Amino acid sequence: MKSFLFPLLLLINFPLYAAKNPEVDIVITKSIENIWTLTYQMDRPANRLGFVRNPDNSRIERWKPVSSDFEIVFVEGKEYLNRKDGSLFEHVELTLTPTYKHLSKDYAPFSPYSDGGVLIHTGRLFSCINKCADDANDWQISMNIPQDEHLIVNGKVYTKSASWVDSDDGMNVYVGRQKPIETDSVIAVIDSGLPEKIQSSLNADIPKLMVYFQERLGKLSGVKPTLYASYAKVDDRSSQGGTLPNQIFMHWNLNDLNKKIKDAKFINQTTWFFAHEVAHLYQRSKVGALNGESNQSWLHEGNADWLAALALLDLYPNTEAYVTEKIDRFKDHCVKGLTGLTLIEAANKGQFGLYYTCGLLIHQAIDHAVQKKSNGRKNIYFLWNEFRQRVEQGDEKGPETFLALVEQYASKELVVRIKVLVETKLTNPEDTLSQLIVDK
């Protein structure tokens, strides 16, 4: 697992790594008045800054240049920061909007806690002169915060300020007053404004699920993961979870959570949501996440959802009816979704949900086929562990390596059927899906 390094380790470890992005240093300052200022300092004059992550054009609304000489523009699907007159610059300051914003296929830039604390996703800030090359990685980040608050960076608490070299997808950094609680399995920062029922579920179910997946997918390498659970009581209906190396986070952005928790279905859904995110934590490898391109997300999202189903059935047997009904719903969703577009197009057509629904069905079929061929000695966990090992040994991340193993441990025929389902425009998706699970 690629780790991020806190300052002390940095001195020892850093020379072993590639040099940091020498072009752009990032400084974030939070004032007592909750003003978040982002500063980019370049090592040479630039005519624009581009970003690594471009999920949409919402920086234009949410990032305000301190000087009106600057603007953020959206060109061919990417945002850029430049001077309005096109002249060169080496330094620029912006103020950020520290509220939750759902970004499709990306992490929320901010996840607020109900007591005023917040998580900030650093990957959102990664920037390069002109545009970021595919191999641009390693950013020098510094953060300054008010006296009476603290930062949590990679499981460690800092006051006043911290700086580190960040890379890959970045990380979530906590800024606020809540003290982390270290348990056997995680370091937890759980919003005390969350309903008691959710808090106790987080405290009990997350460790339980971690043990469950650890037994099947192996121990996590690196430091103890940090669990962040935040709750913004606002007029919205979204909740989002995610994982980054050594981090798992969940955010609820709604105002009727107290009412919702009285509904058994919502509780099951929440447990599924936890199981899905914990599964992601254990999908990772020493060389990072194993997924391929975003349009092949059936691989990790479908796998995490199938593992969530298995975990619920094993650990919470009374969820069986819920799980069965959910899988039926997934079938309907997948069939309807693939009437009119191919699965690999879904990412770019706002149909990301299909990677969960169709993806679960693909992994269910694979699991059954692998078990059948091995007379129950091997299963989806075995396959994922093999997949991880292959990638750690140098094979390509993504579906090609995974499907080669499906061919080896299930059948070539199944791989062909999966590829048809993923890559072609189907005339009868229902038929194609039922053929997938014919070996059941």
Q: What does the binding site for Zn ion look like in residue numbers (CB under 5 A)?
A: 301, 304
Nearer to Zn ion, 244 or 304 (CB): 304
* Contact (CB, 8 A) for 184 and 34: no
Q: At 304, phi and psi to the nearest 5? A: -60, -35
Burial label, 284 (beta-carbon count in 10 A; 0-12, 13-18, 19+): buried
Nearer to Zn ion, 275 or 304 (CB): 304
**Interatomic CA distance for residues 394 and 401, integer angstroms:** 10
Nearer to Zn ion, 150 or 280 (CB): 280
Instruction: Provide the minimum distance between the beta carbon of 269 and Zn ion in the complex, in angstroms, as a whole number.
Output: 14
Show the beta-strand stretches assigned E in 18-88: 24-30, 36-46, 49-51, 63-65, 70-75, 78-83
* Contact (CB, 8 A) for 79 and 126: no
Other C-beta atoms lying within 10 Å of the C-beta of residue 393:
8
Instruction: Provide the minimum distance between the beta carbon of 168 and Zn ion in the complex, in angstroms, as a whole number.
Output: 17
Instruction: Provide the minimum distance between the beta carbon of 357 and Zn ion in the complex, in angstroms, as a whole number.
Output: 12
Q: At 174, phi and psi to the nearest 5? A: -90, 135
Nearer to Zn ion, 70 or 384 (CB): 384
Instruction: Provide the minimum distance between the beta carbon of 184 and Zn ion in the complex, in angstroms, as a whole number.
Output: 25
Per-residue tokens: 405: 């193993």
Furthest-apart CA pair in the chain: how many Å? Answer: 69
Q: What is the DSSP letter of 218?
A: -
Nearer to Zn ion, 80 or 252 (CB): 252
Question: How far apart, in Å, do the first and last CA atoms of the chain sit?
Answer: 35
Instruction: Provide the minimum distance between the beta carbon of 70 and Zn ion in the complex, in angstroms, as a whole number.
Output: 35
Nearer to Zn ion, 298 or 322 (CB): 298
Instruction: Provide the minimum distance between the beta carbon of 304 and Zn ion in the complex, in angstroms, as a whole number.
Output: 5
* Contact (CB, 8 A) for 207 and 190: no
Tokens 């107290």 identify what position?
258
Nearer to Zn ion, 145 or 220 (CB): 220
Instruction: Provide the minimum distance between the beta carbon of 278 and Zn ion in the complex, in angstroms, as a whole number.
Output: 11
Per-residue tokens: 40: 């980019």
Nearer to Zn ion, 36 or 249 (CB): 249
Q: What is the DSSP letter of 428?
A: -
AA letter at 197? K
Residue 386's closest CA among 230, 161, 186, 216? Answer: 216
Task: List Cβ neighbours of 329 (8 Å cut-off, separation of 6 or more).
Answer: 357
* Contact (CB, 8 A) for 35 and 150: no
Strand-pairing partners, residue 92, are 40
Nearer to Zn ion, 59 or 280 (CB): 280
Nearer to Zn ion, 106 or 301 (CB): 301
* Contact (CB, 8 A) for 422 and 359: no
Nearer to Zn ion, 187 or 244 (CB): 244
Instruction: Provide the minimum distance between the beta carbon of 301 and Zn ion in the complex, in angstroms, as a whole number.
Output: 5
**Interatomic CA distance for residues 278 and 283, integer angstroms:** 9
**Interatomic CA distance for residues 422 and 139, integer angstroms:** 36
Instruction: Provide the minimum distance between the beta carbon of 82 and Zn ion in the complex, in angstroms, as a whole number.
Output: 35
AA letter at 387? F
Instruction: Provide the minimum distance between the beta carbon of 19 and Zn ion in the complex, in angstroms, as a whole number.
Output: 33
**What is the per-residue burial (b if ≥16 Cβ within 10 Å, else e) of 66-97?**
eeeebebeeeeeebbbbbeeeeebeebbbebe
Instruction: Provide the minimum distance between the beta carbon of 361 and Zn ion in the complex, in angstroms, as a whole number.
Output: 16
